[in-house]
Structure 1
Amino acid sequence: MKRSLIVIGAAATLIAAFVAGAYFYTARQNAEVTTAAQSVDSPFKRVGTPSMGNPDAKVEITEFFDPACEACRAFYPHVKRLLGEHSGKVRLTLRYAAFHEGSDYVVKLLEAARLQGQEIYLKTLEATLSAQPMWAEHGRPQPQKVWDALASTGLDIERARRDMERPEIAARLQQDTADIVALKVRQTPTFFINGKPLRNFGQDGLSFQLREEIAASYP
């Protein structure tokens, strides 16, 4: 009996230590992100990043996004709906985190599409996400197949193939990679709202924290 109580007590102590460790790690990480956000070279103040919504909105969702990520695909309609519900008050900035094999190719394609205008970019983005199961199968990605899904987007495909290799696109992706390291982004999607990490991951957590930030920014 005594022995079992000792084992239970030891297990409880280990769990408490783990929870405390996780809490302090998260608190330290959040403090580091806040410091980075307020720095002169803030990762949240990059010129030329893809965005949607009112550019003068007081509330900004920053999403680190991988076009091969199933969770990013699942979140996209929800994020788009939030932009519509809070029209004029919220903008979305997309940053690329090409963690999956083959997704760096598709990221360059998306940036090449953006050179053809915002409407073409959004159509290409949505067609790419819709076709994700076709080209982004885990373990056997075939990113070249994504072109087959873009015929109805209006994208000038030959131009996009050339533009993918433009040096400014490579430079933008290098900047995203550096900011991923600075902000300790380890998974996609990762969201920040006005530079603050998402407290509770999930669609409800995103919606709740967004409403909080809107209420604070538009009293």
Structure 2
Amino acid sequence: MKQNYTIMGAILLMVIAFVMAVYLYNSQQAETQTQLVTQNAEALSKPYSPRKGNPEAKVTIVEFLDPACETCRQFHPLVKELLATYRGKVNLVIRYAPLHPGSDQMVKILQAAKKQGKFWEVLDLMFETQPYWASHHQPKPEVFWTYLERFGFDVVQLRQDMKDPEIDRIVKQDIADGQLLGATKTPTFFVNGKPLSRFGYEQLKSLVASEVNANY
């Protein structure tokens, strides 16, 4: 019996040590990202970045996303919910982080859609249909084009707009800015320049609430 208690005690100590290690790792990551933002504040957003919500809002969520990222898809309605909850007080800025092979074509479609004033509609459609064109993290842009046609988007104009060299420059700039800010996974969020202390929706929700309370 004594030996069992000793084993259980050792296991408990290992669990505590693991939890502490994860906590310290997350804290160090958040601290590192905070330093990166301080050093590269201009990399958070650009004039061309898609923005949703009141442009004069005092709280800004910056999201680095990949359209082929399943977690980004899960967060998409949750972020929209935060914008609705704090309508007029919070806005959202989207930056591109095409980490999956082939995702660069998807973000080019998004940026081309922005030229037509259809960015948010196409982003919604991408996430709604993601299981069909990006199963197992393998984007197939040609499959998504069929959805664009089906839902009545001007695919001829989109294909033409995608050839604009400015879109390539924008995607490369977003990737470079993401690297400067330590956005090595998607989605990565910053709220008024502050990274999440630990990744998760509750952490995002809490940080947004804290910034709203501090600014209004």
- TM-score tier, shorter chain, comes to 0.7 to 0.9
Deviation, 1:41, is: 5.3
Deviation, 1:141, is: 3.3
Q: Which runs of 4+ in 1 moved over 6 A?
A: 1-17
Q: TM-score, normalising length from structure 1?
A: 0.85
Aligned to 2:109: 109
Deviation, 1:22, is: 4.5
CA distance in 2, matches of 1:208, 1:199: 10
Alpha-carbon contact 2:67-2:98 (below 8 Å) kept: yes
Name the % identity: 42
CA distance in 2, matches of 1:204, 1:217: 20
The answer for unaligned runs of 5 or more in structure 1 is: none
Deviation, 1:161, is: 0.6
The answer for unaligned runs of 5 or more in structure 2 is: none
Aligned to 1:175: 173
Aligned to 2:96: 96
Amino acid at match of 1:131: T
User: Which range moves more in the overlay, 81-90 or 38-47?
Assistant: 38-47
Aligned to 1:146: 144
Aligned to 2:195: 197
Alignment partner of 1:150: what SS? helix
Larger fraction in helix: 2
From 121, 124, 129, the equivalent of 1:126 is: 124
CA distance in 1, matches of 2:106, 2:187: 16
- Equivalent pairs counted in the alignment come to 216
Change (3 A) 1:184 1:40: closer
Change (3 A) 1:8 1:42: farther
Change (3 A) 1:214 1:165: same
CA distance in 2, matches of 1:97, 1:83: 22
CA distance in 1, matches of 2:13, 2:6: 10
Bigger RCO (CA 8 Å, 6+ sep)? 2
Alignment partner of 2:149: what SS? coil
For residues 12-161 of structure 1, the aligned pairs below 5 Å read 22-39=22-39, 42-117=42-117, 120-138=118-136, 140-151=138-149, 155-161=153-159
Q: TM-score, normalising length from structure 2?
A: 0.86
